[in-house]
Amino acid sequence: MRQRVTVITAVHAPSARFLTDAYASLREQELPDGWEWNWLIQEDGKSDQVAPRVPDDERVTFRQGRAGGPGVARTMALAHADGAYVKVLDADDRLGPGALARDLAALEADDTIGWATSRVLDLLPDGSTAAFPGDPEHGPIERAALLDRWKADGFRAPVHPATLFVRRDLLVALGGWMALPASEDTGLLLALNSVSRGWFSAEVGLLYRKWEGQVTGQAAHTETAERAARMAVVESRARALSHFRWRYALDSG
């Protein structure tokens, strides 16, 4: 594996206008000597509206594919990820200063940690920010610590899956993102926590943009029957992984 962090971004035409901001936040990241990042942008579909907004940078690669939702787009991009680590960056979000270096340091320092997340601020349309309540303590997240909290809190994860930083081999072993129309990132997060310890950084790692076109703000996202089915399969997968006792190979727990 190369000493590289591969940043994966799923994008569709309505969110393409935010790629400039996402790129600016990525360019500001600093990594230790010997490390580098590359950015894989995967369009969910084949339009002519995204490519003109892709930055002209040799570290950036753009591809298109059949529309199938953000989880499909990210998993297709994963085929081209050649770094030891994968970082998620949604097209309409921005990385916080130092986010990549903090995530990398946490996993490089402890082989038993398979993934990392960080504090999030909502980025509101007027440019102001708002914090999420209930963040965990800074530091390790023990294996299987998230599932019951997620369910008890109305299926809201105590850490944000849009901040995920993960060992590529572990991500591939779990099959990438779930084949769901939404909540595919939460499903991955809970699966990861079923097999591996994680890490939470109390420093802001992501500005999560709130805007009128975001997928999670649409009525279909909260339609009762579909949401119940999504939550059921997310929970079932996480519990099955715990039941079969498959563990991240270097986890000493």
- DSSP letters spanning 66-86: ----HHHHHHHHHTT--EEEE
**120 within domain boundaries:** yes
Q: How many domains does the chain have?
A: 1
Mean of per-residue pLDDT scores for the chain: 94
Question: Considering the domain boundaries, does residue 253 fall inside one?
Answer: no
181 lies in some domain:
yes
Query: Does pLDDT of 219 surpass 80?
Result: no
pLDDT reported for residue 249: 67
Residue 250 lies in a domain: no
Contact residues for 79 (Cβ-Cβ < 8 A; gap 6+): none
Q: Is residue 212 part of a domain?
A: yes
pLDDT band at residue 113 under the 50/70/90 scheme? very high
Predicted confidence (pLDDT) at residue 2 exceeds the cutoff of 90: no
Structure tokens given for 197:
């310890």
- pLDDT given at position 28: 98
Residue 203 is assigned to a structural domain of this protein: yes
Measured in residues, the chain has a length of 253
Residue 85 pLDDT exceeds 60 = yes
**pTM here?**
0.93
pLDDT of residue 252: 46
Residue 218 above 60 pLDDT? Answer: no
Q: Flag whether 76 is in a domain.
A: yes
* 252 within a domain of the structure (yes/no): no
Whichever domain contains 133, its CATH number is: 3.90.550.10
Share of the chain above pLDDT 70, in %: 94
pLDDT (average), residues 62-87: 96
The boundaries of the domain holding residue 156 are 3-244
d(CA 205, CA 10): 18
Phi, psi of 221 (to 5 degrees): -65, -30
Summarised one tens digit per residue, pLDDT across range 166-216 is 999 999 999 999 999 999 999 999 999 999 999 999 999 999 999 886 666
Q: Could you read off the pLDDT of 142-174 as tens digits, one per residue?
A: 999 999 999 999 999 999 999 999 999 999 999
